[in-house]
């Protein structure tokens, strides 16, 4: 029986059980019957949440997507008198917003219940407009395509490194992207997307913030350069539990001091090198100015693939960039969700072997003195799963591997 002729109940069941959000978006664009059902009453939220919560997307990205949906719907996420995080700022503004983002989408490996403020609901409200969810699906499709292009970009670099070292390049770079690798990449893109949508909501006047907070938001970028002490060198343990002032850290939405309560002071931020890796990819694909504007929240991250497609219409986009026809999206392996709370294995190795980490560098083949973080990022090591690195035998191979190789100019 054709999809267009299915009864309402069966079509609802089909749409609610597709493997991922990109497939759902493709069906809505291809089938008028599916589009009409999705656009009917509360069916959109029911279908969207069934697919989103079914394991295709990691918990952090789920929270980020719902946060973006709230911003686009004009919902103010902070009711008066919200005091769950006292003595942190509770009035609507950039400090409380960022506090919520970090607390709800980075610290926890999953959400067991909705936050009291409703900012990170376990499910979107049934009254959410279908147009909001359709727009979210379009964003998800484009960010997924960008993440796969990013991974393929770094797989090419990894193949170059491993071939020069004598490894067979297909052993380490020939495998398709794993679920955890895709999620690390797409999570960073959604964090950039959140900053863009936040600034767009400010321009539309739907945030309900003070004029001072709105003015501060204009000059804030997503992250700093990797050389900035606020990002890499800051020892957050020297700070009190209160947020830093506007003159030292408020230039960036994600920075070290902002995560003081989410991680122990001596534990490096688990995503900082993922951010830098993705921004490096954007810079090499589209130039420094383009990457800067995306980081500042001026350009939407979804434009990454629009520019790459030379302005081609949405109808010409493939549902899965560079994925073979009929090839399914990867599923999470055992332990993948827990590992996403921490940095990738190579980054943990690098951070543990840096001077002052308390780890003997000699035991790790020279440690940080023999590792160049720029070279690690240029080969995408902040994104790679343990399975892809098995060909290197052990992490102590990395210093000699990288020191004999120069990748991107």
DSSP letter string, 34-54 = HHHHHTSTTHHHHHHHHHIII
**If 0-12 CB within 10 Å is exposed, 13-18 middle and 19+ buried, where does residue 333 land?**
middle
DSSP conformation class of 245: P
Tell me how far apart the alpha carbons of residues 376 and 398 are, in angstroms, rounded to a whole number: 9
Average pLDDT over residues 395-402: 59
Backbone torsions φ then ψ of 252, nearest 5 degrees:
-130, 145
Cβ within 8 Å of residue 385, ≥6 positions away? 178, 180, 181, 336, 344
CA distance 182 to 173: 14
pTM: 0.83
* Per-residue pLDDT at 236 exceeds 50: no
Helix extents (H) in 287-344: 288-295, 303-308, 336-339
Listed in sequence order, the residues at least 6 apart from 3 whose beta carbon sits closer than 8 Å to its beta carbon are 11, 14, 27, 31, 33, 34
- What is the per-residue pLDDT for 65? 92
Question: What average pLDDT is seen over the chain?
Answer: 75
- 59-68, 132-141, 237-246, 389-398 — which one is most confidently predicted on average? 132-141
- What pLDDT digit, counting tens, does each position of 176-203 carry? 888 999 999 999 999 999 999 999 999 9
Reading the block at residue 43, the tokens are: 């069916």
Q: Per 3-state DSSP, what percentage of the chain is helix, strand, and coil (rounded to 5)?
A: 55, 0, 45
Peptide bond into 87 cis (omega under 30): yes
Which residue matches tokens 């790679």? 384
Q: Which residue has the higher pLDDT, 255 or 283?
A: 283
Give the largest Cα separation in the chain, rounded: 68
Q: 3-state class of 252 per DSSP?
A: strand
Q: Report which of 372, 222, 350 is spatially closest to residue 282, judged by C-alpha positions.
A: 222
What the block records as the tokens of 62 is 């789920």
Tokens of 377: 């990022």
pLDDT at 201: 93
């Amino acid at each position: 029986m054709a999809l267009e002729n299915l009864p309402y109940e069966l079509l609802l069941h089909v749409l609610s059980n597709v493997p991922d959000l990109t497939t759902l978006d493709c069906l809505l664009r291809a089938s008028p019957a599916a589009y009409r059902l999705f656009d009917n009453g509360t069916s959109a939220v029911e279908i969207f949440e069934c697919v989103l919560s079914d394991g295709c997307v990691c918990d952090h990205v789920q929270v980020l997507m719902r946060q973006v949906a709230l911003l686009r719907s004009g919902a103010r996420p902070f009711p008066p008198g919200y005091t769950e995080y006292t003595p942190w700022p509770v009035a609507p503004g950039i400090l409380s917003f960022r506090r919520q983002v970090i607390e709800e989408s980075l610290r926890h490996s999953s959400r067991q219940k909705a936050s009291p403020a409703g900012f990170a609901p376990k499910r979107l409200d049934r009254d959410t407009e279908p147009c909001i969810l359709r727009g979210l699906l379009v964003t998800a499709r484009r960010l997924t395509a960008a993440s796969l292009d990013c991974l393929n970009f770094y797989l090419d670099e990894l193949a170059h490194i491993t071939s020069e070292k004598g490894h067979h390049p297909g052993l380490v770079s020939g495998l398709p992207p794993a679920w955890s690798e895709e999620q690390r990449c797409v999570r960073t893109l959604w964090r950039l997307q959140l900053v863009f949508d936040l600034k767009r909501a400010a321009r539309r006047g739907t945030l309900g913030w003070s004029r001072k907070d709105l003015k501060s938001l204009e000059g804030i970028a997503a992250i700093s350069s990797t050389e900035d002490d606020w990002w890499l060198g800051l020892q957050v343990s020297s700070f009190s539990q209160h947020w830093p002032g506007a003159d030292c850290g408020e230039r960036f939405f994600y920075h070290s001091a902002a995560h003081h309560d989410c991680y122990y002071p001596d534990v490096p931020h688990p995503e900082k090198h993922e951010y830098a890796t993705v921004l490096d990819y954007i810079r090499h694909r589209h130039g420094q100015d383009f990457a800067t504007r995306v980081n500042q929240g001026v350009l939407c991250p979804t434009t990454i693939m629009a520019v790459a497609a030379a302005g081609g219409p949405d109808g010409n986009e493939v549902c899965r960039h560079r994925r073979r026809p009929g090839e399914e999206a990867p599923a999470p392996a055992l332990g993948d969700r827990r590992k996403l709370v921490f940095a990738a294995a190579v980054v943990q190795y690098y951070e543990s072997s840096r001077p002052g980490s308390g780890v003997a560098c000699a035991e790790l083949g020279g440690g940080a003195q023999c590792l160049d973080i720029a070279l690690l990022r240029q080969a995408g090591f902040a994104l790679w799963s343990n399975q892809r690195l098995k060909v290197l035998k052990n992490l102590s191979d990395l210093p000699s591997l990288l020191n004999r190789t120069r990748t991107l100019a």
